[in-house]
Chains A and B, each alone.
Chain A
């Protein structure tokens, strides 16, 4: 059965790394479902969060080992959803004229709010998992969605570890 896997990659912050990382997926014809990159709590260390679908855990493990080979990669971990706390963020644009009832709809949701509003449009933010966002999408659809954007997943594993435990071999002073 196809499952989602989240791959967290810790890297040195260098140019061209995204190209090398994505190349490993394209070579094996694996589609990247979502991607987000940010600097971590340590200066100079970036965190890539990549979501892929696979029906074989083994395939994901092979990918993880190949990513680890990239020189600037400090560490790589693959997770299934139950190991993680994760979320995405989505923005929706709706026509103000057709938006009667939208705000009432929002009240039923904890993590949805209006970010921008004028005579012409409303921009609504919704945070949550992919399913939650799509469920919200279908509720909003009757009002007419002018534009929709969804971010890549960000995720943290549900364990007691921090960066120093993930990367025990790394000489931390180097990044201070």
Chain B
């Protein structure tokens, strides 16, 4: 079975390999982005991507619609992470793992920073010319993303960062599209709660930056 598949690929000869190589060049950054959010460690992310590429080449002959390469290889990456990486993880996570207090999956309320403090927050938010604020803001969002439970984190990354449709993300994650829909709502809600906690939490100075932005 396995040999036969390899033969199919080899029959394509240079074409299949050239096609595969180009597809990898085009998706490399995206694969690394998703791998990094899953493993939360640069070295692990590189290993995971390399493992994914090896597996993808072995199965490339089975991919009938080459237009579906992106969701297809993301799925291989995600499955590799679940089956291999999560278990044998030896390296520590690099990103700080801030706890989000409320993360019940069923909770359907939609928390919005905008509703919590519309004016101040918008003024703070809409200050892109302040370069240092911008940079810290990136850190704030990175922390907030890192604090999301894995299921929400990977869903938000696939949809918002890599631009997959809900159907494609569902295929990658092996869940129904409705689950992607509810994870997006919940994930974005948790993300805003986490940003809010950072903004109001003791020892973190986001609230000071908000005041500076307003003055």
Q: Do A and B bind each other?
A: no
Binding site for B on A (CB under 8 A): none
